[in-house]
Amino acid sequence: MVEEYPRNLTELEADFGTEEACRAYLARLRWPDGFLCPRCGGGRSWPVRGVLLECAACGCQTSVTAGTIFQDTRTPLRVWFRAMWWVTTQKNGASALGLQRVLGLKKYETAWTMLHKLRHAMVRPGRDLLTGRIEVDESYVGGEEEGLPGRLNLKKALVVVAAQEDGPGIGRIRMRQIIDASAESLVPFVRASVEPGSVVHTDGWAGYFPLERNGYPHEVTILKRKKKTPSELLPRVHRVVSLLKRWLLGTHQGAVSQKHLDYYLDEFTFRFNRRRSKSRGKLFFRLAQQAVAVDPVPYDQIVHPNRRKAKPQSVGVT
Ligand SMILES: [Zn+2]
């Protein structure tokens, strides 16, 4: 599909002034080769009452938003589109309070829920693994942060980060909250984030030792006579962690709870990995594209992410 996106706010307003225009755009993103029935795979449909599509083959009714993060929303798509625009065009992202103000939403919860759903869409299903040389290290986030103003309203949480080496700089990253620094926590993270055969560079912590037999050439750097600090040892990971902390303290003013931290890590990663993208509109396009590609997140699962996740209905009607 041709990448089609607004280049500025004026174009956004002109292109997405109606629910119909928003729905048509989402349909082009979701079904670039034309309608695909979620039940039978049929390719022909009839519109029903404007919003629904009825499959010509099996008669099932669906909509472009069913089975996406927009499922069951009571917020107009026009408002969603403006939220996506705001989130992707603000250099440091948006807080729920900021979004509520700019969209003129009555309830804070509406802005908060939209942002969490959008963060969910920032993780691309089946995204590529990092390749090349990868630094991996874990770090505590939360509480009083040394050298940074303010305080994270978050008990200490352990976050593991993988950062692709790009010369002296940083390529793409992945990160996740883990319960401890055991091999059982660290190795699955590396396997989910890094292509086997890539060199993984860590400190001398034993939790990383099984990497070698999991197919990763493992490079270990250990502190020699304490001449170097840990941040010099794995400088990329530590730069990422320090940017993450600044972002949590700045944009979100530290108001991030531990059970929701993963959503924030996803947003941070999405932004970081696209930080060199010159076109903000392209970020909007990516987010909209992913929003119709991921499963819906029920409100209950956003609020209580650690509860057993119910498999959402794949065929639903909004
Ligand atoms: Zn069908």
Please write the tens of the pLDDT for every residue from 202-218: 999 999 999 999 999 99
Rounded Cα distance between 10 and 37, Å, is 34
pLDDT band at 153 (very low <50, low <70, confident <90, very high): low
Task: Calculate mean pLDDT across residues 216-231.
Answer: 76
Is 267 within 8 Å of 122 (Cβ atoms)?
yes
Strands, E, within the chain: which ranges? 45-48, 52-55, 61-62, 133-144, 151-166, 169-178, 199-202, 218-220
pLDDT at 252: 75
Q: How far is the CA of 43 from the centre of ligand 1 (A)?
A: 8
Of residues 296 and 61, which shows the higher confidence score?
61
* Cβ-proximal residues to 229 (8 Å cutoff; 6+ apart), any chain: none
Judge whether 92 and 270 are in contact, CB under 8 Å: no
Return d(Cα 88, Cα 144) in angstroms, integer.
Answer: 29
- Report the percentage of the chain scoring pLDDT > 70: 88
Number of Cβ atoms within 10 Å of the Cβ of 308? 6
Instruction: Determine whether 232 is exposed, middle or buried from the number of CB atoms within 10 Å of its CB (0-12, 13-18, 19+).
Output: exposed
Sequence length of the chain is 318
Q: Tokens representing 294?
A: 């991921």
Q: What is the separation of C-alpha 273 from the centre of its chain, rounded to a whole number of angstroms?
A: 10
pLDDT (0 to 100) of residue 22: 95
Task: Examine the pLDDT at 315 and tell me if it is beyond 60.
Answer: no
CA pair distance 291, 286, nearest whole angstrom:
8
Distance (Å) from CA 256 to ligand 1 centroid: 43
> Mean pLDDT over all residues of the chain?
86
Vertex 51, ends 22 and 318: CA angle to 5°? 95
| Greatest CA separation for the chain | 73
Top mean pLDDT of 11-25, 40-54, 122-136 is at: 11-25
Beta bridge partners of 130: 194
Q: How far is the CA of 195 from the centre of ligand 1 (A)?
A: 37
Sorting pLDDT into bands at 50, 70 and 90, what band is 229? low
- Centroid of ligand 1 to alpha carbon of 309 (angstroms): 27
Interval 301-314: pLDDT, tens = 777 776 544 444 33
Higher pLDDT, 170 or 154: 170
For position 257, what pLDDT does the model report? 77
SS3 call for 170: strand
Among 302, 272, 271, 299, which Cα is nearest to 287's? 271
Question: How far does the centroid of ligand 1 lie from the alpha carbon of residue 58, in Å?
Answer: 4
Distance CA 216, CA 232 (A): 23
Q: Calculate how far, in angstroms, residue 123's C-alpha sits from the geometric centre of ligand 1.
A: 28
Within 10 A of 288 (CB to CB), how many other CB atoms are there? Answer: 25
Give the Å distance between the CA of 31 and the centre of ligand 1. 14
Banded pLDDT at 156 (limits 50, 70, 90): confident
- What number is the average pLDDT over the span 44-60? 90
Which has the minimum average pLDDT: 50-54, 112-116, 149-153, 314-318?
A: 314-318
In this predicted model, which residue has the larger pLDDT, 156 or 303?
156
CB atoms within 10 A of CB 228: 13
Q: How far is the CA of 33 from the centre of ligand 1 (A)?
A: 16
Do 83 and 118 meet the contact criterion of CB atoms below 8 Å apart?
yes
User: What is the pLDDT, as a whole number, of residue 125?
Assistant: 63
> Distance from the CA of 193 to the center of ligand 1, in angstroms?
36
Beta strands across the sheet bearing 218-220: 169-178, 151-166, 133-144, 199-202, 218-220
d(C-alpha 37, C-alpha 54), whole Å: 9
Q: Quick one: pLDDT at residue 316? A: 35
> Which of 192-196, 222-226, 238-242, 254-258 has the weakest average pLDDT?
222-226
What are the phi and psi torsion angles at 234 (to 5°)? -130, 70
Whether 150 contacts 254, CB under 8 Å? yes
CA of 35 relative to ligand 1 center, distance in Å: 10
Listed residue (30, 43, 16) closest to 292, CA to CA: 30
Distance from the alpha carbon of residue 3 to the mean position of ligand 1, in angstroms? 28
**What does the pLDDT average to over 258-277?**
88
